Structures are given as structure tokens and as C-alpha cells.
């Protein structure tokens, strides 16, 4: 089913206790969050906003081996002060929770995740990034249709796999994921790359995203503890969360490193401090 559709739902993959341990851990991280106002980057998936907010932001570009904070639109005043409680303003935390936080490290490298990797035939999987996504009630922004390989490019394609864990029930009301089944077989038409030095933004898009037919998307509601496996080229999106409940998720991406080269143009690069760690321990 995964190879046919490009995604697979595994209900009840993580226990309620494991979900709560991640939520409690993130609460502690937010309580200790100190973000300098000039680093308060709003997170967006709209191309122009993305180039403006993230592209000009060293804070985003150097977050691959750190734990950093990104905010929803409209939650900060022009001085960078919070207009709403900070724990309700945050969009995501990324991109190295799997490396620096003991709880998220344990989940990422848990024996059942490793076993799943082996069942999928992954020989030398490495973890390239991780994110905690909040999808805040009422303001959790939409994520426009995209393919993960646009941002995490490999040669050859087909070497990126996303693990998406629902830490609360994800419903159509609070912004569950939507997919176009089978869309992982058509390659990619757009890439986000590092811009040449001296450019006005740090990243730029090459190629263009086609106009997708809304009627082709199917919703994938999933209960708390469910895991969605996401092929790097499958087209997916999520809608604005207009409900009164959040939709927390922890997600990480792995790359099959055997016979694969990671693009030097990707925004995210392994560093001497954090080479991509092996999924298998």
C-alpha cells in the first residue's frame, strides 16, 4: 500500500504515554524559550512569504543542527513582542530535536521505528531533520500542497521518508494531512536551493509547483499515537486550523544513505557538530 499510494497510516503505533511524554517535554522547552526579537521568524509555506521570512533569515538557515522556534503569522507586534501567550503563538520547533533532546531522540530511534525501517528495506537510513508542529487552534496556518523532496533533495530521488506522529487526534476540523494517492511517481518540478552569496535572500526556488486539482486530495484523519509514513515525493497539504483544538505532531525525515548523495544546494546541511545520525543504533 505504501509503495502504491506514497503514504501509509499505522494507527496506534505509539502509546498514549509516549505521546504525553513528548507533549510534556515540549512544554518544558517552551517554558525555557528565550528568543531574541530579531530572531522571531514567522513560519510560512507560501513561496513569497517563505523567501522573505526564512530566506533572509540566518536563524532558519542555521537551524539544522539546533533546537529553534518559529512562529505563526500575526502573533508578534512590530517590535517582536508577543500579542498572545507565547505557547499559543508558536508554529513549530526544529530541526534537531532528534539529536539534542533525550525524549525525542528516544522516540526517533525507538526499536519499533528501527524495525519499521528494516521492514521497508532501509539499509543505511540516517535522520536528517525533525520538527514539532503545533497547528494552533484558530490560527494554525495552512500548509500549501508540496513534496518534501522539494526541500530535501537527493540523487537519486526516492530516498527520503517522513515519519509523522499524531500527538493529538488529527481531524478534518483541526487540520489533518491530505494526500494525492500515487502522486509520488511523477518526480518533482520545484526545488528550494541555497541562493548564491550576495543574493537578497538565502534561499530561492527553482522550477514551479504545478496547480494541483483539489478534488484529487483525500483527507487522512488519524488518532493520537498514529503514525503516517510519507514518501518524499508524494503531494500533500493541510488546511488552516479553524477549530478550537490544537493538532500537535512530531515529525522526522530519514534518508537512505546507501548509494545516495545529499544535495549541496539543500538549505539543510549536515555539520561537523551534527553529521546525520544513523537511524539504527
Q: What is the DSSP string of 67-120?
A: EEEEE-TTSB-TTS-BSS-HHHHEEEEEE-HHHH-HHHHHHHT-HHHHHHHHHT
| pLDDT at residue 180, rounded to an integer | 98
Percent of the chain with pLDDT over 70: 92
* Structure confidence at residue 75 (pLDDT): 81
Please give the Cα distance from 32 to 99 (Å, whole number).
18
What pLDDT is recorded for position 55? 43
- Spatial separation of the C-alpha atoms in residues 40 and 18, rounded to whole Å: 30
Whether residue 262 has pLDDT greater than 50: yes
> In this predicted model, which residue has the larger pLDDT, 76 or 251?
251
Whole-number pLDDT of residue 183: 98
Q: What's the mean per-residue pLDDT of the chain?
A: 91
Largest separation between any pair of C-alpha atoms in the chain:
50
Asked if residues 190 and 208 have their Cβ atoms less than 8 Å apart, the reply is yes
In this structure, what are the phi and psi dihedrals at residue 234, rounded to the nearest 5 degrees? -75, 140
CA distance 262 to 194: 13
Instruction: Please determine, for residue 277, whether its predicted confidence score (pLDDT) is greater than 90.
Output: yes
Q: What is the pLDDT of residue 36?
A: 53
* Mean pLDDT in residue range 208-235: 97
pLDDT tens, 146-190? 999 999 999 999 999 999 999 999 999 999 999 999 999 999 999
Model pLDDT for residues 61-92, shown as the tens digit of each residue = 889 999 988 888 778 777 777 888 888 889 99
**CB contact set of 42 (below 8 Å; sequence gap of 6+):** 49, 53, 70, 71, 72, 73, 75, 76, 91
Please check the confidence at residue 53 and state whether its pLDDT lies above 70.
no
Distance CA 144, CA 164 (A): 17
Give all domains of the chain, ordered by start, each with its CATH number.
Answer: 1-262 (2.60.120.620)
For residue 41, pLDDT over 60 is answered with: no
Grid cell in block for residue 127: 535522520
User: Coil, strand, or helix at residue 10?
Assistant: strand
Given this model, what pLDDT does residue 49 score? 63
- pLDDT above 70: residue 48: no
Nearest to 72 by CA among 100, 46, 92, 53: 92
Residue 87 contacts by C-beta under 8 Å, 6 or more apart in sequence? Answer: 27, 30
pLDDT value at 56 more than 50: no
Interatomic CA distance for residues 48 and 56, integer angstroms: 11
Stretch 103-109: mean pLDDT? 98
Q: d(Cα 41, Cα 63) in Å, to the nearest integer?
A: 12
Sorting pLDDT into bands at 50, 70 and 90, what band is 25?
Answer: very high
Burial class (CB in 10 A: 0-12, 13-18, 19+), 171: middle
Q: What is the pLDDT of residue 130?
A: 98
Residue 45 has pLDDT above 70, yes or no: no
With a cut of 90, say whether residue 225 has pLDDT above it: yes
Cβ–Cβ < 8 Å for 127, 108:
yes
Three-class DSSP category at 25: helix
Amino acid at each position: 500500500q505504501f509503495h502504491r499510494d506514497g503514504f501509509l497510516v499505522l494507527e496506534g503505533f505509539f502509546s498514549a504515554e509516549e505521546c504525553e511524554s513528548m507533549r510534556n517535554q515540549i512544554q518544558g522547552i517552551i517554558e525555557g524559550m528565550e528568543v531574541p526579537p530579531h530572531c522571531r521568524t514567522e513560519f510560512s509555506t507560501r513561496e513569497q512569504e517563505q523567501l522573505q521570512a526564512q530566506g533572509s533569515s540566518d536563524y532558519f538557515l542555521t537551524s539544522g543542527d539546533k533546537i529553534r522556534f518559529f512562529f505563526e503569522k500575526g502573533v508578534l507586534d512590530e517590535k517582536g513582542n508577543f500579542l498572545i501567550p507565547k505557547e499559543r503563538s508558536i508554529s513549530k520547533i526544529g530541526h534537531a530535536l532528534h539529536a539534542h533532546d533525550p525524549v525525542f531522540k528516544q522516540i526517533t530511534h525507538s526499536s519499533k521505528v528501527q524495525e519499521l525501517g528494516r521492514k521497508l528495506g532501509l539499509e543505511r537510513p540516517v535522520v536528517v531533520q525533525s520538527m514539532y508542529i503545533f497547528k494552533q487552534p484558530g490560527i494554525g496556518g495552512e500548509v500549501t500542497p508540496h513534496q518534501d523532496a522539494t526541500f530535501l533533495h537527493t540523487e537519486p530521488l526516492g530516498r527520503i521518508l517522513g515519519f509523522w506522529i499524531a500527538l493529538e487526534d488529527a481531524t478534518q476540523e483541526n487540520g489533518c494531512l491530505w494526500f494525492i494517492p500515487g502522486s509520488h511517481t511523477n518526480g518533482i518540478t520545484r526545488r528550494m536551493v541555497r541562493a548564491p552569496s550576495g543574493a537578497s535572500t538565502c534561499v530561492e526556488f527553482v522550477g514551479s509547483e504545478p496547480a494541483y486539482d483539489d478534488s484529487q486530495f483525500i483527507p487522512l484523519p488519524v488518532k493520537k499515537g498514529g503514525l503516517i509514513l510519507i514518501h518524499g515525493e508524494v503531494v500533500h497539504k493541510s488546511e488552516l486550523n479553524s477549530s478550537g483544538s490544537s493538532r500537535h505532531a512530531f515529525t522526522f525525515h530519514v534518508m537512505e544513505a546507501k548509494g545516495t548523495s545529499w544535495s549541496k544546494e539543500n538549505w539543510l546541511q549536515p555539520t561537523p557538530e551534527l553529521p546525520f545520525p544513523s537511524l539504527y543504533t
